[in-house]
Structures are given as structure tokens and as C-alpha cells.
Structure 1
């Protein structure tokens, strides 16, 4: 459900982006999650065409889910891609989060078969790949 997608994106951002939990939208999202309001979750989550280059990621990381938290058009958002289910965008904030003059960006790759995960940061090679897939 869209509430689950919102929860995944929110928790990943809250755990990995400094200062995010104090953001006005983060506080509003936490309230949506607390109330489990599906109609309010729709204000933040939308389904997306699978056209962002997932094929290249699938070759490198087969059988995996992804959460990408990044500044999209100057605001913090997330791309949540669930293997064989769908791709979703999540509006996490109305502003960007910048650390050392670079936008805060993280990628979580969760391998379904191995039941393992890895988090990549701004300068990791997987980010260069992601930026070339957009």
C-alpha cells in the first residue's frame, strides 16, 4: 500500500539524512503514518512508470529492492523500487538537504535472496550509475 511505501521512504530518510526528522514535511509525514491515513499518504506517494533505467540496476543487483533518497529538482524526495511490484516516488520535503555543499543522497539496495542490504552514499560508484540512468 502507499502507506507502506511512505513508511519505507520516511524511515530511510529519517535514519540517514541529518536533520530530516525536524523538517516540517517530515513531521507531517510522521503524523500521516501515525494515523495510517491512506488518503493523506496519497499526497506524498505516487506510482511511476518504470522508465528510469532500472534494467541496468537489475543487471548489477538482481532480485533487489531500492530506496533512493536524493534531491530531485531541488527538493528532497525518494524513489522506491520494489522488485516485480512497482516504482514509486515520494515527496519527503519542500527543501533540499545539503551537507558540505553537496545534496544529501543515499541509496539502499536490499537483496531479496540473500536477505542482505547495503547503503551507498553520494560519492559511491552506484550513485554515478544512478545519475546516468535518470
Structure 2
């Protein structure tokens, strides 16, 4: 089973402001209500692994599968047989702001059931991210 969800928002903040928040995992709990803590075992770079503590608390392994500094990262969480991939992309807009897209793909048994729960806070997280980026 596969569940897909994607959301795009625009902001007056430049891509660098969004990227600064994304690439500093200590800020994630500030703007993502589902995240309590992230501990990476290395730099914010492709191949780095670590642990994410989600609200619950639920501790899950996390890995950075793709990192293109300044524009994109894809992280992967593994929860039993479920694999959750969250792709984050920021693009500049003509007015100096950004277009921010976050896409979630969940694969495994029960993906259709857990997907809406996993993505329920996505609009709140994206709004908080945009507010923080615009304030920086």
C-alpha cells in the first residue's frame, strides 16, 4: 500500500531563510508540532542517519536520503514495516520569496490508514515554518 500527500505554499521569505530552518534540526520542534527532538549522527548531509522523537513520544530512525543544499532534502523514517519519505523543496519566486513544497509518501501495510494521521499536522507545520522564515 502507498499513501501520498503534497502541499505547496508561498512566502515572502527567500529560500535561504527556509533552508536555514530546515537544515538546523534543532529548530524542527519549534515549527513542527509532530517533532519533539531530532538527533543526527553527523552533518545535515546525504547519508546521515539519526533518531527522531515524534509526539507520543515515539522514537524512530531517520536518514537523510537526498540533500541538495539550499533547495531540497528528503528524509526517511522507518516505523516497523512502514517507510515514510518526506521530500522538502524550496524554489525562489520572481518576487524574491519562495515556493515551498512538502510531499509525503508512506509505503507498507496500513499506509492508507496511518497516512492521514502522519500528515494531519502538515498544514500547521508549514504555516509555522513560513512564519519563522519570514521573521528571520
Would you say same fold, with TM above 0.5? no
More strand by proportion, 1 or 2? 2
Comparing both structures, which one devotes a greater share of its residues to helix? Answer: 1
Q: TM-score, normalising length from structure 1?
A: 0.30
